[in-house]
């Protein structure tokens, strides 16, 4: 089984490289997870938050929401990013061009 974990947390990437960062309270659970991962082809990489626009939109929404929400379908505010991601199109950011 192949597993590619992409995270915007550089701490998570560091933890996979150095298990000394795991707090002792959860170290037993962590070790159990690592045993399961031995049977998988697993890589962990960092992705900037802007690189996962769906997760970024959900996180922004969660910061402003004051109650629990469950969706049966892709939320309207993530649909465009979800479709772009699903069909494999690149995410293009536009930056102001200066110096002309």
Helix (H, G, I), strand (E, B) or coil at 96: coil
For 5-47, what is each residue's pLDDT tens digit?
888 888 889 988 887 888 889 999 999 988 998 888 989 988 8
Q: Look up residue 98 and give its DSSP letter.
A: -
pLDDT at residue 86 is higher than 90: no
* 34, two tokens: 């690592």
Whole-number pLDDT of residue 60: 87
* 85, two tokens: 């991601």
Instruction: Give me the residue spans of the domains in the chain.
Output: 2-47, 50-86
pTM of the model: 0.52
Mean pLDDT of 47-68: 84
Mean pLDDT of 56-85: 88
Whole-number pLDDT of residue 29: 93
Whole-number pLDDT of residue 88: 79
Whole-number pLDDT of residue 72: 93
Distances (CA, A) of 77 to 81, 83, 90: 8, 12, 19
């Amino acid at each position: 089984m192949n597993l590619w974990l992409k995270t915007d947390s550089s701490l998570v990437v560091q933890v996979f490289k150095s298990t000394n960062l795991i707090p002792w309270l959860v170290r037993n659970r962590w070790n159990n997870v690592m045993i399961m991962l031995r049977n998988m082809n697993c890589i962990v990489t960092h992705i900037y938050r802007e690189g996962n626009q769906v997760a970024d939109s959900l996180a922004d929404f969660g910061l402003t929401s004051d109650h629990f929400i469950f969706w049966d379908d892709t939320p309207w505010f993530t649909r465009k990013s979800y479709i772009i991601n699903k069909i494999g199109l690149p995410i293009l950011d536009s930056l102001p061009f200066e110096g002309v």
